[in-house]
Structure 1
Amino acid sequence: MIEAVGLTKRYGDKTAVYNLSFQVRPGAVTGFLGPNGSGKSTTMRMILGLDNPSAGQVTIGGYPYRKLPNAPRQVGALLDAKAVHGGRTARTHLLSLAQLSGIPARRVDEVLGVVGLQDVARKRSKGFSLGMGQRLGIAAALLGDPQVLLFDEPVNGLDPEGILWVRNLMKSLAAEGRTVFVSSHLMSEMALTADHLIVIGRGQLLADMSVQDFIAANSAGFARVRTPDTEPQLREKLATALAEAGGHVLPEQDGALRVTGLALPRISDIAHETDVRLWELSPHQASLEEAYMRMTQGAVDYRSTIDQKVGLQQPLPPGAQPQMPVPGQGQPGWYAPPPPQQGGQPFAMPQGQQGQPGQPAQPPAPPQGPYGAPAAPAAAPAAPGSAPNPYTQPAPAAAHAPAVDTTKPEDAR
């Protein structure tokens, strides 16, 4: 088991990781998620003893990595697939690692077969593709048959067959009772591979929970409703009736309606009562990607200036949206979570929170537009002293945490 307690790493006046505490338990694949510059790679380097923490500690099986006897036979890691001498063959590279750790030479041929590189074992690694380099790095991690495995972007450069192979490999390793810690930016793959998630942003813990709980805590299910495209007046009629029944209705770009607050049978009954034909009535469960984007968008440092126009994230139903005096509030797709809480709790804005110390009072709810959606405010130039733009300014840090600046050395990703 990997355990971090109060883990902090500073580079001069730059804080890469702050007060990070979590556990990675055996028998499950634990996904490690966070935006670029959130401190994932720095955290992994501290786990492996490559960087010393400024405060706190991290242990593997109760011991720091550097105090583990014959650590390569207990912990395997893939952090950089390019960390191979280009003049060495795949077999020579693995053989040198095996000799340094007292691992029998026959194990080299075994892991080459596991990762599918047996046919190119005697070719120099400088001619390997990115995917072949990833396979060689995974082979090096498996060389000592360790009980703890760390992988940083293991599917980078792999084709679909290779991605499926890595997914099955991770699951099989966890099923054997090993501790598997995987960092990745591919949300669709994490949804299929990981059992548990640890999410960080700006070096702080945002969530520590199962995949299912993470999606449920950071998304809202909705019903997708479609009426005949040739009769737009029916869509307007149904939207009005659903809003009067207590539902929250948002139009989608393809003409369908996104409805929350009403069960599917109730939506069907309302359509029948208003004499509106339905072409579609289906439930929708948010994906891991949608839930991840909703949670971490306040911790993203590098954001395109067109994001606020595109509206990639749909707003939550009324009562679930935080009300913050920032430009763009009420626009389609606008959402900004409050600062992360300690202890791995998901974002949650207390209902009716007004006038917190050090914060301006909450403004009244924005006027309602069509279908019950918040009306977009009129465009106006920002006045001096106005609130910062959330798309160009970092989210405020927790009151007890120092400001975190992720413009740090290359290893802090």
Structure 2
Amino acid sequence: MTRRWLGATSALVAAAIAVAGALLTAAPAEAAGSLTVSVTIAVGSTQTAVSADPTNPTKVAVGSPTEVVTVANGTADTFTLTGITSLALTACDRTVVAPGASAVCTGPVTVAAGLASLAYEATGSFAADPAAVGVQASVPTSLFGVVYDLRTVFSGDFPPPAGGSAPASDARFLSLPLGYFLVMHVGFVNASNVPISGLTRTGVATGCAPLPATLAAGATIPDCTFTATTPVTWQDPLSFTVGATATGVLGDTLTSSATLLYGPGEDECNTTVQTAAQGERVTVTCFGFLPGINVAAILHSPAVPLGLKNTGPTGDFRFIFVVPAALEPGSHRVELSLNGTTLTMTDPFTVTAALAPTGADGGPMLISATGAVLVGGSLVLLAFLRRRRQIR
């Protein structure tokens, strides 16, 4: 009986080993390895791995960049990829991935402003169990949609009679005296959702406080007050533009500017005549200048200095000049400038040549005519006297 029991026991053990072997053989092969998913995104011209850490997300411009999702089959079984959640694509559907191989899938992703976390999940089944279709691997991602918004806050103080202050891009038509140096106020706001660096002013005079190396999101640079380096000149329209440049977190250059419009007005000079001859006196009438300044008057062209003219107590003044005898006939005008900056010019007027002599000498002709009159008169008198003698 003992031998029979031992034989039966041995047969049971052998059968159990055989069943266990069969079960092991039927177990899914993915247990021997793993299926992994990795994600990169196109940032500029390069592919950057997407962070899985919400505290340090991958920064990317708002829009629809291209994402690349790689599904690596590290198992010993063939994997059929049926889709990737969070990625709009069809190219990788039903892709068969051999053991040790990878499937690379690309597609656009919508990046909104601010933080966004997505999970990319590879769905599909292994050949050992084709009915077990589902999520086989996933990876979390964390993106931050970058929005840039650098703003210039700008205004200028106007002198009388306009007075007050006008904001940037104000379309009001305000007349300023020519020669006036406008007082400016300029500041900056980083309305972006990320910090910016390398902030540099443009179109602004020196004298303002240095700018910080980095300007945090939502931070403001207080107004800086300065005086324009050039006086108001006659243009259409009159304007003054300031701004800033900076570097964004993605390495691109940001620009911002604002333009203060303070014209056009009625400030100009005019001559009293449209045509003047060489050697003739011409009057120039001006108005709308800053009172009490000395402006240089120059006749063009070629440039003929006419001297300094004071704008007087009201900014309205006039002066007279003589057209040079040697000035070439043609179109000319008078320029008014302050310290080398042209403030305005008159409308062109025409210079003509002076009246030239005919070239004939009238002296001999006058003498001849006088002689003829005297001779004629003498003959008439002699004839009269003769007739009187004959009558007697």
TM-score by shorter chain over 0.5:
no
TM-score (norm 1): 0.16
Bigger strand fraction: 2
TM-score (norm 2): 0.17
Bigger helix fraction: 1
